[in-house]
Structures are given as C-alpha cells and as structure tokens.
Structure 1
Amino acid sequence: MSWLFRLKPGASIRTNLLVAALMWSFIGLYLIVRGYLLHVLLPGIFWALALGLGTLKARFVIERAARKNITRIVARPDGMCLGGVYSWGMWGMVVCMMLAGRLLRNSAVPSLVVSVIYVAVGWALLLSSRLIWQEWNARRTLR
C-alpha cells in the first residue's frame, strides 16, 4: 500500500484551494461562453434575466456549497490528494450537473431558454468562486 501512497498527487491546502477556485472559475466561464454560443443574439433582457437568476443561485445555493468546500479543504492536512479537493458527494453532483446539461442541450427546450440557464449557472459558479479565491489569497499571507 505504501507504493500507492507515493503515487498519490498530494498537495498543500493552498494548492487544493487553487485547484478548486480554478475549476469553479473555468467551468463558470465555459458555461457562460457555451450559453452565449447557443444563442449568439441573446437579447439584453435575457442577459439581465440570466445574470439576475445566476446571482440569486449563487447567493442562496452555490455560495453555501463553496463555503462548505473551503471548510473541508482547510480542515484536511497538507499533502492530501488533489482528487479529494471535493467530497464524493460533490463529485457526484458534478457528474449529475454534466448529465443534466447534456440532456437539456439535447431536449426540445428552446435554445434561448437553454442559453439563459447556461449563462445563469455559469455566472453563479463564477461569482461564487470568489469565496475560494479569497481564501486562497488569504493563505498566501499566512506564510
């Protein structure tokens, strides 16, 4: 078992926070761009709706998950596996969200609606990632 332990991609708490922040940010940006590309001529009212819904989702749902994730990462000792940056439940949620996005994209739902949903969810992730970035930055000054 010790050889397996040596192969584990262990990292510091700060690196785990960086990976989590990058993932939330990049996935958020990806969804915003994907939503834009689904309906390039997205009218301003729909952008406002998507950003408003995304802000509400961030405030009441995603930020709670981000704080829980930060607490989990910080509670773990240095050198823990990068794959453990999220709990098994969170990884399961990631897979479910990917499947839901794929089903939505391939459904009969109009592209304008899918576009608004993608932009809203992407904005919620991007907005909430700031909490992880703040913790990552705070850890820089703790050294």
Structure 2
Amino acid sequence: MKSRKTTISRFKPGVARRTHLLLAAMLWTGVGTLLLTKGAFRLTRVTDYQGAIVAASLLAGTLKGYFVLDRSARRTINRIAGFNDNTCFGAVYSIKTWVLVVGMIAMGIALRRSSLPPELLSFIYITIGWGLLFSSRLAWFAWRKGTDYV
C-alpha cells in the first residue's frame, strides 16, 4: 500500500530551481509593469507637473529598489538556490511573503478606492512599479546564470 505522502506528491506541481527563478522574475516584472501602467493612466488625469511627478517617482522607485527591494530579491534568490529540483512552484516565496503580497493587494484596493488626488496616486503607483521592475533585474540575472548568481 502506498503512503499518503507519495500519493499526494504525484499531484504536487514541482519544478526546477531555474523555473522558480523565472517565476520570481516574471512576477516582479509583471506586477511592476502593471503598477507603472496604472500610474501612467492616472497621470493622464493630471494637467500640471506630469514630468516632475514621473521624475520624482522614478528617483524614489530606484532608491526603494536599490535599498529595499534588492535585499528582498537577493533573499528570494538565495532561498531558491537552496531548493531541490521538483520543489512546488508555490514555494517561490515563503508563506510570510505570500501573506505580505495579500496585504499589499488589499492596500492597493484601499488606495484605488481612496479619495487621494490623482497626482499622489500616480506617484505611488509609478514609484512602486518602477522599484519592482528595477529590482526584478536580479531575478532575471539569476535565471539567466542559474542559481550560482547572488
């Protein structure tokens, strides 16, 4: 008789470490692009200071990416490097990180429903989107080079 664990393991969507790196890179790139697009769309409602908002957002996003998100990206890459092949693809991020993602989605919904001015919403969306896109480069490099890159 097969053990329950063996039976359940057959249905586990396990993937290689390199696939985890690709998934991490694609998630950060996709979410960053989505937020940048939302910010740009909201910016069309702003008549003044569009260039200044974009410049300030890109600067703030680069700083956030370099000083905050790069650290998180490296931690994820190091975590993936320790995986065995055939680890479940959902393990790309820790449970703590997935909870944080749900919290960020909830904050995004609250922001979208808020009465904040479009200038501020554009700044927030572009800053976070660019920061994610900027830091996704680390996961893309790791995917390209394999788990040896950190």
Say yes or no: does 1:111 pair with 2:115. Answer: no
State the 1:95 CA deviation: 0.7
- Which residue identity is paired with 1:3? T
Alpha-carbon distance in 1 for matches of 2:146, 2:20 = 11
Say yes or no: does 1:5 pair with 2:9. Answer: yes
Q: How many residues align?
A: 142
- 2:19 equivalent among 9, 15, 18: 15
Higher-Rg member (1/2): 2
* Structure 1 SS opposite 2:146: helix
The residue number in structure 1 matching 2:72 is 65
Query: Greater helix share, 1 or 2?
Result: 1
- Which residue identity is paired with 2:98? W
- Which residue identity is paired with 1:50? S
The residue number in structure 2 matching 1:124 is 131
State the 1:130 CA deviation: 0.2
Superposed, which structure 2 residues align to 1:12-91 within 5 Å?
12-40=16-44, 43-91=50-98
- Which residue identity is paired with 1:29? T
Alpha-carbon distance in 2 for matches of 1:81, 1:9 = 5
The 10-residue stretch of structure 1 (129-138 or 33-42) with the greater mean CA deviation from structure 2? 33-42
Alignment RMSD? 1.7
Segments of 5+ residues of structure 2 without an aligned counterpart are: none
Q: TM-score, normalised by structure 1?
A: 0.94
Alpha-carbon distance in 2 for matches of 1:106, 1:41 = 16
Alpha-carbon distance in 2 for matches of 1:39, 1:133 = 29
Alpha-carbon distance in 1 for matches of 2:38, 2:60 = 17
State the 1:140 CA deviation: 8.9
- Checking the alignment, whether the CA contact within 8 Å between 2:77 and 2:147 is kept in structure 1 is no
- Checking the alignment, whether the CA contact within 8 Å between 2:81 and 2:147 is kept in structure 1 is no
Seq. identity, %: 40
Segments of 5+ residues of structure 1 without an aligned counterpart are: none
